Amino acid sequence: MKSDYSESVFRRSQKVIPGGVNSPVRSFRGVGGAPVVITRGRGPRVWDVDGNEYLDYLASWGPLIAGHAHPRVVLAVGQTAAKGTSFGAPTLGELELAELITQAMPSLEMIRLVNSGTEAAMSAIRLARAFTGRSKIVKFAGCYHGHSDPLLVKAGSGAATHGVPDSAGVPAAYAQETLVADYNDLSSVEVYFDEWPGQIAALIVEPVAGNMGVVPPTNSFLQGLRKVTEDNGALLIFDEVITGFRVAYGGAQALYGVSPDLTCLGKIIGGGLPVGAYGGRRDVMEQVSPLGPMYQAGTLSGNPIAVAAGIETIKLLQEPNVYEQLEAYSATLATGLHEAASAAGLPTTLNRVGSVMTLFFHPGPIQTWGDVAASDTKRYAKYFHGMLERGVYLAPSAFEASFVSTQHTQDDIKQTIETAAEVMRGLS
Ligand code: KE4
């Protein structure tokens, strides 16, 4: 594959943008090599500046469930832009998106639109602290909720101790308010509620973990979190930035039948444009300014063009059999990849929920952060580059997810499996 134009553009970018990227995981540091510079997308495909074509399973890290440049999304964005780009005032579009989301997810009695998943999670944490009057929060190792200070925290020295910063610039005093538990291990949560009675405002969780690779909740884990938070007067926050409208139209809360007190959303609800949201119980959301004392604001929150893309994308997901097709094609892909790996004698585990999945080079099962950390990331990097060279674009990190869109065809899936089989034969 020719890549000299990508390489020259990336060299220029590195002079003016840290690492040449506007988000670290795009840098390919997780898999080595230099990223390709993408110039356009259409349906399930993207092209780079050297003219190379790729079958895309990154989907911009999840938002593009309806594929790139969907005609209906492009038309909605264009028609909206022609009437103005932003007013800083109430609009019909933000109301329509708010009503679509709250109708899809009944636990969201009220919702506030913001501009990213980070803003959604940051605001939900502040709201939970305002509502309960408590300061501690519980999160899970391996789960990611954006880059706000309270959430860039890793586990402290031992169980039941406070967290430590997971980034330079996060004061230890902030990190101490965050307690880090182990995903799929309810006892690691219970110990915190015993250690800090009446002090934990909320627990935030990805109901299907997607940021350590895909790790689904084991049976009764989510139900257990619902009970332990309820029993201790803490709020349960589902971070559905990845899973919202992805694993089901009503998100993971519909799929697993567990109702959180607050939900964070992003990615798909913007259809590729910057939209995030947080919402939930009316009595909690009524604490949000201007109704209540918890302040949160944003110049471009509910931006007309962004919400137009989100509305059209969600409407596309209301069409008949959309999720049945996503499930069928994703299941075929998952089975094909796993069989290709087995045929090449490679131990792999493929974790999947609907159209979001991760292939781990590890015999499995993969149910905890510890299992993930033991997977073969070097072999994943070779697999990633082998697929990229053959025109298949996966997540450039072993700890991320790949996504099937409504625009991938059965032939695309078949081609992907054949390509993977060829690459894996070279890995064993
Ligand atoms: P954003 O601020 O990137 O819109 O959303 C943060 C966020 C919150 N919650 C979950 C569950 C998320 O997955 C994310 C962002 N996901 C990452 C990768 N999985 C986005 C990619 C990136 O950081 O560039």
Instruction: Give me the DSSP letters along 27-49.
Output: GSTTT-S-PPPEEEEEBTEEEET
The last residue of one of the domains, among 296, 317, 338, is 317
CATH code for position 351: 3.90.1150.10
Amino acid identity, position 275:
V
Which residue, judged by its Cα, is nearest atom 13 of ligand 1?
A: 242
Of 27, 28, 211, the one to substitute when testing ligand 1's pocket (max ligand atoms within 8 A of C-beta) is 211
Cα distances (Å, whole numbers) of residue 302 to 122, 293, 422: 17, 21, 46
- Residue 156 scores a pLDDT above 80: no
Residues 138 and 287 placed together within one structural domain of the fold: yes
Q: Which of 19-23, 158-162, 205-209, 247-251 has the lowest mean pLDDT?
A: 158-162
Token code pair at residue 137 = 């929060």
pLDDT of residue 42: 98
Residue 380 is among the residues annotated as catalytic for this protein: no
Residues 6+ apart with CB under 8 A from 346: 361, 379, 424, 427, 428
Distance CA 336, CA 370 (A): 26
**Closest C-alpha to 310, from 267, 352, 281:** 267
| Atom of ligand 1 minimally distant from the CA of 118 | 2
62: left (phi over 0), alpha (psi -120 to 50) or beta: left
Residues with CB under 6 A from ligand 1: 23, 25, 61, 116-118, 121, 144-146, 206, 210-211, 239, 241-242, 266, 276, 400
Domain boundary among 317, 343, 375: 317
- Of all protein residues, the one whose alpha carbon is nearest to atom 18 of ligand 1 is 61
Spatial separation of the C-alpha atoms in residues 422 and 394, rounded to whole Å: 16
Residue, of 164 and 188, whose pLDDT is higher: 188
Q: What is the pLDDT of residues 53-101, one digit of tens each?
A: 999 999 999 999 999 999 999 999 999 999 999 999 999 999 999 999 9
Identify the residue whose tokens are 């610039």. 169
Q: How many residues does the chain have?
A: 428
Ligand 1 atom nearest to 240, measured from its CA:
11
The residue nearest atom 17 of ligand 1, judged by CA position, is 61
Instruction: Give the Å distance between the CA of 7 and the centre of ligand 1.
Output: 26
Measured between alpha carbons, how far is residue 90 from residues 302, 327, 406 in Å?
8, 37, 32
Identify whether residues 295 and 338 lie together within a single domain.
no
Instruction: Indicate whether 56 and 79 sit together in one domain.
Output: no
Confidence grade of residue 246 (pLDDT, cut at 50, 70, 90): very high
Q: Cis check for the bond before 44: say yes or no (omega within 30 of 0).
A: no
Q: Hey, which of 17, 143, 144 would you mutate to test ligand 1's pocket, going by the most ligand atoms within 8 Å of its Cβ?
A: 144
Q: What's the pLDDT band for 158 if we cut at 50, 70, 90? A: low
- Minimum CA distance residue for ligand 1 atom 1: 117
Indicate if 60 and 102 belong to the same structural domain: no
Torsion sign, CA atoms 117, 122, 124, 125: positive
Q: Are residues 197 and 276 in the same domain?
A: yes
Same domain for 168 and 120: yes
CA 77, CA 309: separation in Å to the nearest integer?
6
Whether residue 52 is found in the same domain as residue 89? no
> What does the DSSP 8-state code read for residue 288?
B
Digit-coded pLDDT (tens) for 292-322 = 999 999 999 999 999 999 999 999 999 999 9
- Residue 148: domain span: 71-317
| pLDDT above 70 (res 159) | no
User: For residue 211, how far is its CA from the centre of ligand 1 (angstroms)?
Assistant: 8
Half-sphere exposure (Cβ direction) of 281: Cα atoms closer than 13 Å: 14
In whole angstroms, give the CA distance from residue 354 to residue 330: 7
Looking at the whole model, is its pTM more than 0.85?
A: yes
Q: Give the Cα separation of 12 and 2 in Å (integer).
A: 18
Q: State the total domains in the chain.
A: 2
267 catalytic per annotation: yes
With a pLDDT cut of 70, the percent of the chain lying above it is: 99
Looking at the fold, whether 196 and 247 belong to one and the same domain comes out as yes
Residue 278 has pLDDT above 80, yes or no: yes
Helix ranges, 268-368 (H): 282-285, 304-316, 322-343
Question: Is the distance from CB of 413 to CB of 332 less than 8 angstroms?
Answer: yes
Q: Which residues contact 271 (CB under 8 A, 6 or more apart)?
A: 63, 64, 66, 73, 309, 310, 311, 312, 313, 314
Q: pLDDT tens digits for 407-416?
A: 999 999 999 9
- Catalytic option among 48, 183, 185, 267: 267
Residue in 48, 185, 239, 261 annotated catalytic: 239
The whole-angstrom separation of Cα 277 and Cα 112 is: 6
Q: What does the pLDDT average to over 255-273?
A: 98
The residue type at 89: A
227 is catalytic: no
25, 396 in Cβ contact below 8 A? yes
What CATH number does residue 134 fall under? 3.40.640.10
Question: Is 263 found in the same domain as 409?
Answer: no
- Residue whose entry in the numeric block shows the structure tokens 């008949």: 320
Q: Choose the final residue of a domain: 282, 317, 352.
A: 317
Nearest to 264 by CA among 214, 204, 218, 203: 204
pLDDT digits (tens, 9 = 90+) for 325-335: 999 999 999 99
Is residue 180 located within the same domain as residue 253? yes
Same domain, 106 and 230: yes
Same domain assignment for residues 267 and 143 = yes
What's the gap in Å between 363 CA and the centre of ligand 1? 28
Say if residues 377 and 398 touch (Cβ distance below 8 Å): yes
Query: What does the DSSP 8-state code read for residue 14?
Result: H
The CA-based diameter of the chain, rounded to the nearest angstrom, is: 61
The reported pLDDT for the residue numbered 160 is: 63
Across the chain, mean pLDDT equals: 97
Question: How many angstroms separate the alpha carbon of residue 153 from the centre of ligand 1?
Answer: 15
What pLDDT is recorded for position 219? 84
In this prediction, residue 185 carries a pLDDT of 97
Which DSSP letter does residue 213 get? B
Q: Which of 241, 264, 397 to mutate to test the pocket of ligand 1 (most atoms within 8 A of CB)?
A: 241
In angstroms, the CA 62 to CA 306 distance is 16
